[in-house]
Amino acid sequence: MRAQDSTSTHVCYDLTAEGAVGTGDYTAFQLTANRHHVLATRPNTAYMRAAVNVEHAFTKDWTLSGAVDAIASVHADHKAYLQQCYVNLSYRQFFIEAGSREELPVLRDDLLSAGSFVKGTNAKPVPQIHFGTKGFWTVPYTKDWLQIHFDFGYGKFLDNSYKEDVFRNNPVNRSYSKGAYYHQKHLYLRSNPEKTLFVTVGIEHAVQLCGTNYTYENGELVAKEKPASLKAFWNVILPLGDSNYFENGAMEDWIYGNHVGMMTYQIGWNINSNHQVQAYLDNPFEDGSGVRKGNGWDGLWGLQYTNKTKGRQLVRGAVVEYFQSTNQSGPLHWDSGDYPEPIRSQITDFVTGNDNYYNHGFYGSYAYYGMTPGNPLITSPIYNKDGYMAYRDNRIKAWHLGINGELTDRWSYLVKGSYREGWGTYHNPLATKHHSFDAMVQGSYSCGPWLLSAAYAFDKGNIVGDCSTFNLKISYHGKIL
């Protein structure tokens, strides 16, 4: 919500109830993916949600806003919690914010796309302090030819109790970590999007840092701590490491922290004032080999159509995407720094592969409350029935389709589907590939402040199993001031 005059206060609230019932071991995949882990992955689940949003404009340039958003769930991993709680101070198109907030993707369609590899919408929001731009900001003195979108911040993972419970109750895990901090940033550069052709390039980067790892050694749980410090926070802005990591007994410190990144290349075509097509590649990386595109065809390759025409449109938007993560810069990692002398001097070859997307030796996995913050097509650890806390199937190929539009002035629809195949990991390949077809159809009816939606989704295959789920959601948006 946006204040309309120079000194005004607006207060609104949202009430939501949603339930999902069906068969199978989980709620169908498309109903839970890219929804900030609001609807539980467990089957036959429901929640009630209440949020209050406040915004006060001091002047036409300065605005203070905030929100409190609480959820109470049944048959879910989390019974009652704050989903969002933040305060935001904005000056024109710039902001500084503290707290946890559900962020929308910068470039990808939040309803239609399979999701971002790094800063997606699949997991709960991580509380952080960050600053950046609200949307794209046009750089002065460039004659409107250059726009930028950036964000930079540090936060804290709060899933310590969840990890401890999973580790304690599932002996398959040899180690786990807790107390990690979070660093994230992105920078996108875009040419004028009003021109017939425009381009966007950029980078997203997230890091797990500091914290404590607990590993069983000779039957005892041994703790290894990475203290939080300003130096530690500085060392992860760019991927720096300890050149003597082997001698210091810290193999994980060849690069400080667990880095996950993505480089985006996108071109857009405005067919006319109402119709737009964009083609893009989101190239993943976890170290320099991915940055150099040593990972082959890995990435999210997509084509997106957007219909900006006012009024009812049968097709409002459509996305076709291909996602691959099988290469990971090859199966081998061969670095002389991993060995002592005299072996080190005898190694003349240098091979940086086996990126093992989302997994890490010290932090276990890039996950929050068991869900990947990145692309959900790589199956999250929460789906491991034995409680294993890392990713078992991060080498996949997948096709994804999404389409939405309006049937009448009040009725709209959303259809999504994905087909994926998985080969496990390089460390633990599958004897036979896994596969799954996951689809959803949803209809929504809006009437003033009320929004009612009903959906049916199913999974067919052996990744999350055969699941069939009916879903009903009702929400109300009210204004106090």
Query: Mean per-residue pLDDT for 422-434?
Result: 95
The tens digit of pLDDT for each residue in 372-385 reads 999 999 999 999 99
> d(Cα 416, Cα 402) in Å, to the nearest integer?
4
Please report which residue ranges of 330-452 form alpha helices under DSSP H: 343-346
Which tokens in the block code for residue 124? Answer: 């709960």
Q: Bigger pLDDT: 336 or 359?
A: 359
Count Cα neighbours of 391 within 13 Å in the Cβ-side half-sphere.
32
Query: Which class would CATH give 8-479?
Result: mainly beta
Residue whose pair of structure tokens reads 């049937």 in the numeric block: 407
Has residue 351 got a pLDDT over 80? no
pLDDT at 337: 61
pLDDT at 4: 46
Has residue 216 got a pLDDT over 80? yes
* String of DSSP letters for 115-184: --SSS-SSSPPPPEEEEEESS-EEPTTSTT-EEEEEEEEEEE---HHHHHHHHHH-TT-SEEEES-EEEE
The tens digit of pLDDT for each residue in 117-170 reads 999 999 999 999 999 999 999 999 999 999 999 999 999 999 999 999 999 999
pLDDT at 208: 97
Burial class (CB in 10 A: 0-12, 13-18, 19+), 358: buried
Q: How confident is the model at residue 434 (pLDDT cuts 50, 70, 90)?
A: very high
Query: Mean per-residue pLDDT for 77-104?
Result: 96
The tens digit of pLDDT for each residue in 256-273 reads 889 999 999 999 999 999
The tens digit of pLDDT for each residue in 49-71 reads 999 999 999 999 999 999 999 99
Question: What does residue 284 show for φ and ψ, rounded to 5 degrees?
Answer: -80, 155
pLDDT at 126: 98
The tens digit of pLDDT for each residue in 165-190 reads 999 999 999 999 999 999 999 999 99
Query: Mean per-residue pLDDT for 76-94?
Result: 95
Residues of the chain with pLDDT > 70, as a percent, come to 93
Burial class (CB in 10 A: 0-12, 13-18, 19+), 107: buried
Neighbouring-strand partners of residue 37: none
Q: How confident is the model at residue 3 (pLDDT cuts 50, 70, 90)?
A: very low
